A and B are shown apart, each in its own frame.
Chain A
């Protein structure tokens, strides 16, 4: 699991090393597989094993939040990660990538990394790299307004 370094906390005696350990704050939400789980009023610690996609609230981008070209890429990668059959989203992804690369060729290096992570099923890393791309997009666009 490639996001273990983000989520991993101190290991307790008897803890399963292969499990992902996630602390949820009260009312915090998390997507695991095809379920949206909302924590109750107390802090909770979860130990998660298996291949289901996992997305914490802070990493989730809502559809209506994706209001720039690169944020829409984040949305697409997110959907790929959560989808049972990501194949349908591949076509959309590449259409988006082409459009943005044509508009802003300097984004090409970011897309090389993001696409590589997707090819190797490392979706969490792909999402992290997309965050960097979104920051870069913000820089480029704010440069125009000056």
Chain B
């Protein structure tokens, strides 16, 4: 086949047409995606910078999910503790009523001792049951002190937080565990001399809250028949009250600890969410960037900031910091 010879003019026109076609294709592509920088060929450094921002946003999003789950677990745990606290207060009310009746009987057994003891013990069972059911997202932080929740803050896993669980089941005699001794002092005597006598209870705690079941017969029970002030029914009920009070203190302290843990995770969660948004915004605007304009924009921003509310806020924060001492 014979070669076609092009005149200079024709060649020039042909090249011009080809170039126009390339430009047309490019414009079509940009119109379709809305971006000035579509591939590394358009503007390599902007493209790759934009990609790395988007990738980072993606990595952080994955972490955000696991942080979110940790938050749900802690919120559920907090609800569990609130219920346990409520049960403990009910137990306290029952014991208080028993004590009132006992004192009315001169320190002897309360009139309704069988009924009250049964209520008390029922509540203790409820607490153990609730702690056992406090399973959120596969983790139970209320029925075993060896359980824990691990929150991961970065991809390599080098920044983590471990939240330790507790045992809030109710340990009573019959369970193996540590022995907790309660003492309560009673002042006896009249006139100017008073003798302090103590009554003690030994509760074998099954690793959890140390509250013994209320018994209705025998020495040291809510139905004790002795009359000595440190071993009568009133003394036994008082010791039960002490046990419940101690448990309430423990549970409230733990609620505070979990609350602090939750607050820390939520702060990081909020920061991470904001960070993901700024990364995405940064990535999108990089592909429309015009560095020639940026300097001028920054100068304009500088002027605007001199009069801005943001500057006031910054000044106010600086004023409350140790930085103000630096002058």
- Residues on A lying within 8 angstroms of B by beta carbon are 29, 31, 33-36, 60, 62-63, 66-69, 72, 75-76, 78-79, 82-83, 87-90, 92, 94-109, 111-112, 115-116, 118-121, 137, 140-144
Contact = CB atoms under 8 A, between A and B. Distances in A.
A75 B325 CA distance: 15
Interface string B19-50: 00000000000000000000000000010010
B282 A90 contact: no
Contact of A104 (B52, B268, B297, B326): B297
Given A79-B321, A109-B53, A92 B298 contact: no
A92 B314 contact: yes
Given A118-B271, A141-B298, A36 B325 contact: yes
Contacts, number: 152
Interface in B138-177: 153-154, 159
Given A67-B302, A82-B321, A108-B49, A141 B295 contact: yes
Given A63-B323, A67-B302, A83-B321, A103 B294 contact: yes
B283 A108 contact: yes
Contacts of A60: 323, 326
Contacts of B311: 72
15 contacts: A31-B326, A36-B325, A63-B315, A75-B318, A82-B322, A87-B270, A94-B275, A99-B310, A100-B298, A102-B285, A105-B289, A107-B294, A111-B278, A115-B278, A119-B275
Highest count of chain B CB atoms <10 Å: which of A67, A108, A140, A142? A108
Contact of A119 (B268, B313, B318): B268
B279 interface: yes
A108 B281 CA distance: 9
Nearest to B300: A103
B278 to A, nearest CB: 5
B321 A137 contact: no
Contacts of B325: 31, 36
A92 B283 CA distance: 21
A105 B275 CA distance: 15
Interface of B: 46, 49, 52-53, 56, 153-154, 159, 267-268, 270-272, 274-275, 277-279, 281-283, 285-286, 288-289, 291-292, 294-302, 305, 310-311, 313-315, 317-319, 321-327
Contacts of A104: 294-295, 297-298
Nearest to B318: A63
B154 A69 contact: no
A141 B298 CA distance: 7
A87 B317 contact: no
The A interface is mostly helix, strand or loop, or mixed, namely helix
5 tightest Cβ-Cβ pairs between the two chains A and B: A108-B282, A103-B297, A104-B294, A144-B295, A105-B285
Contact of B275 (A36, A63, A68, A115): A115
A36 B325 CA distance: 7
A106 B289 contact: yes
Contacts of B286: 105-106, 108
A103 B191 CA distance: 85
A58 to B, nearest CB: 12
Given A69-B301, A82-B323, A101-B278, A75 B314 contact: yes
A143 B154 CA distance: 38
Given A79-B321, A87-B267, A104-B294, A62 B153 contact: no
Contacts of A33: 322
B275 A72 contact: no
Nearest to A143: B295
Contacts of A29: 326
A16 B171 CA distance: 46
A55 B57 CA distance: 31
B180 to A, nearest CB: 35
A22 B56 CA distance: 36
Nearest to A31: B322
A29 B52 CA distance: 40
Given A89-B317, A118-B271, A140 B279 contact: no
Contacts of B267: 87, 90
A105 B288 contact: yes
